[in-house]
Amino acid sequence: MQKKALVTIFLISAALISMAQTPSCTAPINATGTYSGKWMFDVKDEAGNIIDTVECPLEMTLQQDVTLNPPQNLKVTGMVHVDFSCLDEVPTWPKWAQIPEPSDVQVSGTMDTKGKLTLLSGGCGPGTCIILSISGMGEKAATEEAGDGEIPAMAKYSGEWGFAIGVAFLGQTGGKGTFAVNRVE
């Protein structure tokens, strides 16, 4: 009986020690702020060869409350302003397809403890689904050092974006590319 108690105490102690060594769920950077940059995508010919890369303006305003307890402090919400005016530079853009007006898209997502931020938007309605994803790494300024437990601000955010549209009985389409934004305030 005493042997079982010692084994149990040992296992509990080992579990507590390993739990104490797991990484914190504290946000590594604070994404709150306004960002400006561009979203890019490759234009391909009918054979799938890249013939051009188009760059479009992109702005984001993000909020993150890093004072909350984990894991709520990793939640990020905001607005992404997508400008489609660059689509007139795409030689393969169908003449019949109107270029969309710039639009504001609400996004929400989470940041992991290494600074990877994934934001999503969209959903499904009657017969149609539209999903936008933005995922990349946030970076603090190279010169910024956090002091006294303060979480540094995110200075840059870059990675990949993608969207998918599905319409019942007609099929689906989508696109993908890259993006890069820098903090402006």
Question: For 104-125, how does the pLDDT look when each residue is reduced to its tens digit (9 = 90+)?
Answer: 889 999 999 999 999 999 877 7
Element (H, E) at 36: strand 33-44
Residue 136 CA from chain centroid, whole number = 5
Q: Decide if pLDDT at 129 tops 50.
A: yes
- Phi/psi for 40 (5° steps) reads -130, 155
| Domains in the chain: boundaries | 25-183
Question: What DSSP element (H or E) covers 13?
Answer: helix 2-20
Q: What is the domain class of 25-183 according to CATH?
A: mainly beta
Q: Note if the pTM is more than 0.75.
A: yes
For residue 164, the 8-state DSSP code is E
